[in-house]
């Protein structure tokens, strides 16, 4: 610092770095790393764009399809179907009563002939009942025959609009001509069901009596509901347009996902969504105590040797391929659960024994296994981020270790723990292989009326359906697009969960 | 501020205490693994007095403080080689000593103010709640008393439910003192309580220490010579893990016996 700086000693001019194809190396490096980041962003954007383009174009297509369905009169067929289905249900419960009766008689040690004799009266009623359905069934077949061709024609999309309109009008006219038949059938149905009810035999034993009473009530309800079918029929407007909202709503809130390759398919999300949520719910309920508990234990109570043993073990679960976990679920776990449910010691549980080996519970348990490492590792990290000084201070105030953990450490790490749980949920809801293999794949809305037993119902999930059906659909078809739509719902759901998790995480960082 | 004038004769010999002693350290040797952090310490602390521990960085002041309420139990590799520490006549490292009870009796205020991320009220009530005290009126009373004792009541009485993190650094440190007082300790250990504070906050804490002397025995670590001179009755000078000189504060500053002490207190240490 003795001399004043001279012009040429103070080298402020940037020295030339090495050049390569006209770029200097600094810039090239920057381009390389920046380029990688950009590629990641672009790929994500492309995926999102593609997903939404394919998925969202489902709705106009579905809207058009629903309109064809309505105008060709198929919608009317489905109304009749509904009534028929309802009648069949009634019929089945009657058959069930007889099954129970026979079971009870067998248990009493009666011979075949005696049983046949004792249940003869009921058998008569069953025959008579099945006869009652015949006109309804025939009518249903007739209307379907009237409408089916028109619907197929509309779907083929070969005719011009005017001709098609002509076809529609003809079909509807033909349908309207049958209305009086339908009314007549229903009227007769009321009379004959009442007649049959009057002829019902008396039963012995409270179980049978209760069932018979239920059946009677059910049948009376059916009779009462017949005019509503009639009313819906009158209100039915075959030319009313289907709005886009109607199409969206019938996707989001539709209760049926039925793929019918030559007839009409309905794409209702609810069975899949509820299935996914049920499985995820089970998994998370099991994974939270396991993951968070293990994290608290390793971070706060375990000896160092124990922690060094537990951590890699739990993290190792991540390394098991999900297909292996699924395989284990099918071959070992599912059967074990069913075997357990059939033990007489557990008979007091209302939902035992279970019939299905593969169900939401089986899948949920295995998904819990997969969520535990995520929840464990991130919760442990959150606990670790709590400043050590809090622990010392608490102990210095005369708290014991347990109090310190539960009152200071865990509450301080809580937002981090919640975000760990959310990320665990994100992982579970997007998991495919295990649910496909273990959830039972029955497309139906789980029946909450069964109480806790609902967890033992086979379900299908959003991820499962995409994996299962995507391979078979024709590209660009409505089915294909519907699957993309399910993908969008899944995407939005996971995005939302991750977003909340990240918010909580940041919140915690700031609080540090 | 008034000048505390200690009248007791100095007590380098711990076996003949004049006033009632509360802490007695005898031949204490302490190791962190291979590091011999405290070497043969002999020290006696009087009831209701303020004792300052001074000395260059790394000489073992914090270590000694943490030994007094057995916070070093948490440190891995830490071990006592020989010697004992008696508090009220009990050897606190005896097998049958309840560490929790000990820590209730020997409170500690850390160097960095560290309120829990809870409300002001909950911070102070914490020490009582963990003892199972639930009564709202008792807690209210304790919170008010402790905040008054820590000269913080007037500043925070209208926002007891605010997060303690919102307080200023000086307020946080006084809150930590109040929190330690809530457990009703007999001894208060303070590790550089003012190191992060500005002069105004520092003088508030010093006044506080003065007033607390009535009811508590205080052992304070400080790097600030003026502070040691202002607040303490006795001063102990440590160097490289040894207790070099221990005497009445005035004597340490006016008339140090050891040349090292003299060099240190006069700022010519090197
Ligand atoms: N947890 C620990 N593990 C190992 N060695 C430690 C540990 N804590 C302190 N030491 C060592 O013990 C000696 C005394 O440290 P101590 O913290 O008591 O010093 P100090 O006097 O408080 O210093 P300062 O004034 O800087 O706070 C130092 O040599 C330090 O390196
Ligand atoms: Mg220190």
- Residue spans per domain, chain A: 3-56, 60-247, 272-511
Measured at the CA of A165, the angle between CA A77 and CA A80, to 5 degrees, comes to 5
In chain B, count H helices and then E strands.
10, 10
Looking at beta carbons, which residues of chain A come within 8 Å of B129? 407
Q: Do A398 and B112 touch (CB under 8 A)?
A: no
User: Mean per-residue pLDDT for A5-18?
Assistant: 66
Unique residue bearing structure tokens 């449910």: A341
Pairing mode, strands B217-221 and B50-54: parallel
Q: What pLDDT, in 10s, does the model give residues B140-177? A: 999 999 998 888 898 898 999 999 988 988 889 889 99
- Alpha-carbon distance of A275 to A446, in angstroms, equals 7
Cβ of residue B265 lying under 6 Å from some atom of ligand 1: no
B75 lines ligand 1 (CB under 6 A): yes
What pLDDT sits at residue A507? 63
> How far A400 CA lies from chain B's nearest CA (Å)?
7
Spatial separation of the C-alpha atoms in residues A451 and B227, rounded to whole Å: 70
Q: What spacing in Å lies between the alpha carbon of B222 and ligand 2's midpoint? A: 9
Name chain A contacts of B131, Cβ cutoff 8 Å: 398
A467, burial (CB in 10 Å: exposed 0-12, middle 13-18, buried 19+)? middle
User: b/e for A100-110, b at 16 or more Cβ within 10 A?
Assistant: ebbebbeeeee
* pLDDT value of position A177: 83
> Which residue is closest in CA terms to ligand 1's atom 9?
B63
A412 touches chain B (CB under 8 A): yes
Torsional sign, CA A362, A366, A367, A368: positive
Mean pLDDT of A362-390: 92
Q: Which residues of A touch B117 (CB under 8 A)?
A: 412, 511
Superfamily of domain A272-511: MetI-like (1.10.3720.10)
Instruction: Give distance in angstroms: CA of B73 to centre of ligand 1.
Output: 15
Confidence band (pLDDT; 50, 70, 90) for A232?
Answer: confident
Is the pLDDT score of B16 beyond 70? Answer: no
The pick from B28, B30, B32, B55 for probing ligand 1's pocket by mutation, whose C-beta has the most ligand atoms within 8 angstroms, reads B32
Residues of chain B in contact with residue A408, where contact means CB-CB under 8 angstroms, are: 116
Expressed in angstroms and rounded, the spacing between residue B83 Cα and the centre of ligand 1 is 19
Share of chain A above pLDDT 90, in %: 28
Tokens 């396991």, residue located: A290
| Chain B residues within an 8 Å CB radius of A385 | none
State the pLDDT at residue B39. 92
The reply to whether residue B74 touches residue A395, judged by beta carbons under 8 angstroms, is yes
Binning pLDDT at 50, 70 and 90, where does residue A6 land? low
Q: What is the mean pLDDT of residues B190-211?
A: 85
**Is some CB atom of chain A closer than 8 A to the CB atom of B116?**
yes
Among A304, A396, A399, A402, the strongest candidate for a mutation testing the B interface, having the largest count of B CBs within 10 A, is A396
ipTM for the predicted complex comes to: 0.86
pLDDT at A26: 81
Tell me the C-alpha distance between B50 and B47, whole Å.
9
Q: Does A162 touch chain B (CB under 8 A)?
A: no
A68 pLDDT exceeds 60?
yes
Contacts of A507 in chain B (CB under 8 A): none
Give the closest residue (by CA) to ligand 1 atom 4. Answer: B32
Q: Are B45 and B23 in contact (CB under 8 A)?
A: yes
Kind and range of the H or E element at A185?
helix A161-199
Phi, psi of B242 (to 5 degrees): -110, 145
Residues 6-45, chain B, touching A (beta carbon < 8 A): none
Which region among A342-351, A396-405, A438-447 has the lowest average model confidence (pLDDT)? A342-351
CB of B234 within 6 A of ligand 1: the answer is no
Q: What is the pLDDT of residue A127?
A: 87
Q: Do A390 and B114 touch (CB under 8 A)?
A: yes
SS3 state of residue A398: coil
Q: For residue A387, what is the nearest residue in chain B, using CA coordinates?
A: B114
What pLDDT does residue B19 have? 63
Tokens read off for A261? 């390759």
Say yes or no: CB of residue B54 within 6 Å of ligand 1: no
Ligand 1 pocket test: which of B29, B34, B35 has the largest number of ligand atoms within 8 Å of its C-beta?
Answer: B35
pLDDT band, very low/low/confident/very high, at A39 (cuts 50, 70, 90): very high
Dist. CA A390–CA A398, nearest whole Å: 13
At residue B9 the predicted structure's pLDDT band, cuts being 50, 70 and 90, is very low
Please, which pLDDT band fits residue A130 given cuts at 50, 70 and 90? confident
The mean pLDDT value for A152-167 works out to: 82
pTM: 0.79
The alpha carbon of B36 and the centre of ligand 1 are apart by a number of angstroms equal to 10
| Nearest residue in A to B116, CA atom | A390
Whether pLDDT at A512 is above 60: no
Q: Do the chains contact at A392 and B74, CB–CB below 8 Å?
A: yes
The stretch A366-376 carries a mean pLDDT of 93
Residues A187, A190, A193, A197: what is their CA dihedral angle, to the nearest 10 degrees? -150
């Amino acid at each position: 610092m003795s001399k004043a700086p001279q012009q040429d000693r103070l080298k402020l001019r940037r020295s030339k770095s090495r050049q390569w194809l006209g770029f200097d190396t600094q810039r090239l490096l920057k381009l390389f790393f920046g380029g990688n980041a950009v590629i990641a962003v672009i790929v994500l954007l492309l995926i999102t764009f593609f997903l939404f383009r394919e998925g969202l174009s489902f709705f106009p297509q579905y809207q058009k399809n629903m309109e064809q369905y309505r105008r060709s009169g198929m919608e009317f067929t489905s109304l009749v179907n509904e009534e028929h289905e309802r009648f069949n249900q009634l019929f089945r419960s009657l058959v069930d009563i007889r099954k129970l009766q026979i079971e009870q008689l067998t248990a009493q040690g009666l011979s075949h002939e005696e049983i046949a004799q004792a249940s003869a009266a009921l058998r008569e009623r069953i025959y008579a009942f099945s006869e009652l359905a015949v006109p309804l069934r025939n009518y249903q077949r007739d209307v379907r025959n009237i409408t089916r061709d028109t619907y197929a024609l509309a779907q083929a999309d070969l005719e011009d609009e005017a001709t098609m309109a002509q076809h529609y009008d003809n079909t509807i006219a033909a349908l309207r001509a049958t209305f009086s038949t339908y009314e007549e059938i229903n009227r007769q149905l009321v009379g004959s069901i009442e007649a049959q009810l009057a002829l019902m035999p008396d039963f012995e034993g409270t179980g049978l009596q209760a069932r018979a009473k239920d059946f009677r009530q059910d049948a009376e309800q059916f009779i009462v509901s017949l005019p509503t079918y009639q009313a819906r029929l009158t209100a039915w407007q075959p030319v009313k347009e289907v709005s886009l909202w109607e199409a969206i709503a019938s996707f989001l809130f539709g209760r049926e996902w039925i793929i019918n390759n030559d007839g009409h398919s309905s794409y209702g999300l609810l069975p899949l969504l509820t299935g996914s949520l049920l499985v995820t719910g089970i998994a998370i309920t099991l994974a939270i105590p396991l993951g968070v508990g293990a994290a608290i234990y390793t971070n706060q109570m375990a000896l160092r040797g124990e922690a060094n043993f537990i951590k890699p073990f739990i993290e190792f679960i991540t390394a098991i391929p999900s297909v292996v976990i699924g395989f284990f679920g099918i071959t070992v776990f599912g059967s074990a659960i069913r075997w357990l449910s059939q033990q007489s010691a557990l008979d007091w549980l209302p939902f035992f024994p279970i019939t299905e080996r593969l169900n939401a519970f089986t899948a949920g348990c295995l998904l819990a296994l997969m969520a535990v490492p995520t929840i464990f590792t991130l919760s442990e990290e959150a606990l670790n981020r709590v400043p050590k000084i809090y622990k010392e201070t608490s102990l210095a105030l005369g708290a014991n270790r347990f109090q310190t953990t539960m009152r200071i450490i865990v509450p301080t790490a809580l937002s981090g723990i919640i975000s760990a749980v959310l990320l665990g949920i994100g992982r579970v809801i997007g998991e495919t292989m295990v649910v496909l293999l273990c959830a039972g794949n029955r497309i139906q809305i789980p029946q909450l009326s069964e109480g806790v037993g609902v967890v033992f119902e086979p379900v299908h999930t959003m991820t499962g359906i995409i994996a299962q059906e995507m391979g078979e659909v024709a590209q660009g078809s409505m089915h294909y697009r519907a699957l993309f739509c399910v993908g969008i719902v899944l995407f939005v759901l996971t995005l939302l969960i991750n977003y909340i998790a990240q918010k909580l995480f940041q919140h915690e960082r700031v609080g540090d | 501020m008034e000048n505390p004038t200690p009248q007791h004769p100095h007590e380098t010999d711990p076996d003949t205490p004049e006033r009632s002693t509360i802490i007695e350290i005898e031949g204490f040797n302490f190791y962190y693994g291979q590091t011999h952090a405290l070497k043969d310490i002999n020290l006696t602390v009087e009831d209701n007095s303020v004792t300052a521990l001074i000395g260059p960085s790394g000489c073992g002041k914090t270590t000694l403080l943490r030994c007094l309420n057995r916070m070093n139990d948490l440190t891995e590799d830490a071990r006592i080689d020989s010697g004992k520490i008696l508090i009220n006549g009990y050897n606190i490292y005896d097998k049958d000593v309840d560490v929790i009870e000990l820590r209730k009796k020997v409170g500690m205020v850390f160097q960095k103010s560290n309120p829990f991320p809870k409300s002001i009220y909950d911070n102070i009530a914490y020490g009582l709640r963990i003892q199972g005290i639930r009564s709202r009126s008792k807690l209210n009373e304790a919170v008010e008393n402790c905040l008054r004792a820590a000269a913080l009541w007037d500043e925070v009485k209208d926002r007891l439910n605010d997060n303690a993190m919102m307080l200023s650094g000086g307020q946080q440190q006084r809150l930590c003192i109040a929190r330690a007082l809530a457990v009703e300790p007999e001894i208060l250990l303070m590790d550089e309580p003012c190191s992060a504070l500005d002069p105004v906050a520092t003088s508030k804490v010093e006044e506080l220490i003065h007033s607390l002397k009535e009811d508590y025995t205080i052992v304070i670590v400080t790097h600030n010579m003026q502070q040691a001179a202002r607040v303490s009755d006795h001063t102990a000078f440590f160097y490289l893990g040894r207790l070099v000189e221990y005497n009445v504060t005035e004597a340490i500053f006016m008339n140090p016996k050891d040349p090292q002490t003299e060099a240190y207190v006069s700022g010519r240490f090197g």
